[in-house]
């Protein structure tokens, strides 16, 4: 069986990497043609090329389930056309047992993608996001950020309308202090003096039964976060890793904002990497039932099944974000549906 496992694993991996590279190339080309009109006049061509190359880890994770199911359907079609499956059955080798090595590969790839998303993919996404801001239309002025909400433990919540990291300067700031006697500070400007922040021209309001404000020309608050602490560029939650997204959720919680959409996204980050194994598990019995179909049919069927999974994922993600179902349940439901379908097909769909 070791020879058979080695043979099937080699054949499957060959097709898997061919298809995933093919799908990544297609996505990059489509994205290039869609975005080429948005290149800024000052765009650096080398940085644009680097931006597209940095998309590869993210696309690898995104497209792995598609490549997994198309590859296994292609392989089973080939084995059926060349009567290799029949040869296994004649020699008394269980068809189900024959694909155990392929399922093992699917599990390994799923865990690899989970690890990849937390490390290389996340770092590549951060650099790609920066290159996108700098080379495509719609980028913001370097060093200046706007509309920052940030929490300073244990009790301060800041809204900063404009922040210049290079000048270590804030403009139009609202500072809420949570305590037994909460207060609200509104300042025109804040500057870093090397040790702390000094706020200028504002009012300090004590929030109680009677809202009272006191004007100040200059005020120092007891926090010493360096300017880099406030440098919060927007980063799409789907491009974050789990640790970064958890920090983002905690900040939103402390700020009093709803986090259902972020919690749903975080749960999907645990569930989605295993879609590769799930679709592989589902695709094997489907392929064995239809093993006499042509390669074109196998390719089309793989696209249909993977797109059905993606559509189910989008549907449950919306339900999770809207609070219709729990985020944890929303994230794992597509996997559970296809896994249940796979179990049924493995038991009832074909004979060993």
Per residue in 50-109, pLDDT (tens digit) is 999 999 999 999 999 999 999 999 998 888 777 677 777 666 667 777 888 999 999 999
Residue 141's pLDDT is: 46
Same domain, 22 and 73: yes
Asked whether the predicted pLDDT for residue 207 surpasses 80, the reply is no
Given a cut of 60, whether residue 350 has pLDDT beyond it is no
CA–CA separation, 75 and 68 (whole Å)? 11
Over residues 192-203, mean pLDDT: 90
| Distance set, CA 248 to CA 189, 266, 303, 310, 327 (Å) | 26, 10, 35, 25, 16
pLDDT of amino acid 42 = 78
* Residue 126 domain flag: no
Give pLDDT, residue 298. Answer: 82
What pLDDT is attached to residue 53? Answer: 94
Our count of domains for the chain comes to 2
The confidence band for 233, taking pLDDT boundaries of 50, 70 and 90, is: low
* Residue 218 bridge partners (DSSP): 200
Flag whether 52 is in a domain: yes
Question: Do 269 and 227 have their domain in common?
Answer: no
Note whether 198 and 276 are same-domain residues.
Answer: no
Which position has the higher pLDDT, 256 or 195? Answer: 195
Same domain, 148 and 113: no
What pLDDT is recorded for position 260?
87
Shared-domain flag, residues 222 and 327? no
225 and 269 assigned to the same domain:
no
What is the model's pTM? Answer: 0.75
* 31 is a domain residue: yes
Q: Quote the strand ranges of the chain, DSSP E.
A: 144-152, 156-164, 169-177, 183-192, 197-206, 212-220
Are residues 299 and 231 located together in one domain of the fold? no
Range of the domain at 267: 2-119+258-349
pLDDT value at position 352? Answer: 45
Three-state secondary-structure class, residue 177: strand
185 within 8 A of 174, measured Cβ to Cβ: yes
User: How much is the pLDDT for 305?
Assistant: 93
At 123 the three-state DSSP class reads helix
Mean pLDDT of 140-157: 71
- Name the more confident of 209 and 212: 212
Task: List pLDDT tens digits, range 315-337.
Answer: 999 999 888 999 999 999 999 99
Residue 132 maps to a domain: no
Question: Over the range 95-111, which residues count as b (16 or more CB within 10 Å of their CB) and which as e?
Answer: bbebbebbeebbeebbe
Whether 266 shows a pLDDT value over 90: the answer reads yes
* Assigned domain for 96 exists: yes
């Amino acid at each position: 069986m070791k020879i058979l496992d080695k043979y099937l694993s080699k054949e499957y991996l060959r097709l898997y990497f061919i298809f995933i590279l093919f799908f990544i190339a297609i996505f990059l080309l489509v994205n290039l043609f869609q975005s080429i009109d948005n290149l800024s006049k000052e765009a650096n061509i080398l940085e644009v090329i680097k931006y597209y190359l940095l998309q590869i880890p993210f696309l690898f994770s995104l497209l792995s389930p598609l490549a997994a199911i198309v590859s296994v359907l292609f392989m089973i079609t080939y084995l059926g056309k060349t009567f290799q499956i029949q040869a296994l059955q004649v020699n008394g080798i269980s068809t189900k047992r024959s694909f155990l090595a392929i399922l093992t590969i699917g599990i390994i790839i799923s865990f690899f993608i989970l690890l990849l998303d937390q490390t290389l993919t996340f770092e590549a996404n951060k650099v790609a996001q920066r290159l996108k801001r700098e080379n495509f239309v719609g980028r913001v002025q370097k060093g200046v950020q706007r509309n920052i909400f940030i929490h300073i433990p244990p009790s301060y919540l800041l809204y900063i309308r404009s922040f210049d990291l290079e000048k270590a300067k804030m403009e139009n700031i609202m500072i809420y202090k949570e305590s037994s006697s909460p207060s609200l500070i509104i300042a025109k400007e804040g500057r870093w003096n090397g040790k702390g922040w000094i706020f200028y021209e504002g009012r300090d309001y004590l929030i109680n039964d009677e809202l009272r404000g006191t004007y100040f020309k200059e005020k120092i608050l007891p926090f010493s976060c360096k300017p880099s602490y406030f440098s919060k560029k927007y980063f799409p939650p789907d491009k974050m890793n789990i640790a970064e997204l958890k920090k983002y959720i905690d900040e939103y919680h402390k700020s009093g904002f709803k986090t259902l959409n972020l919690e749903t996204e975080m749960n999907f980050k645990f569930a989605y990497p295993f879609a590769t194994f799930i679709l592989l598990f589902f695709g094997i019995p489907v392929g064995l039932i239809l093993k006499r179909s042509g390669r074109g049919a196998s390719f089309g069927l793989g696209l249909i099944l993977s797109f059905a999974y993606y559509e189910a994922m989008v549907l449950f993600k919306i339900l999770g974000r809207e609070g219709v179902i729990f985020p944890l349940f929303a994230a794992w439901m597509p996997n559970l549906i296809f896994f249940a379908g796979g179990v049924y097909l493995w038991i009832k769909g074909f004979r060993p």
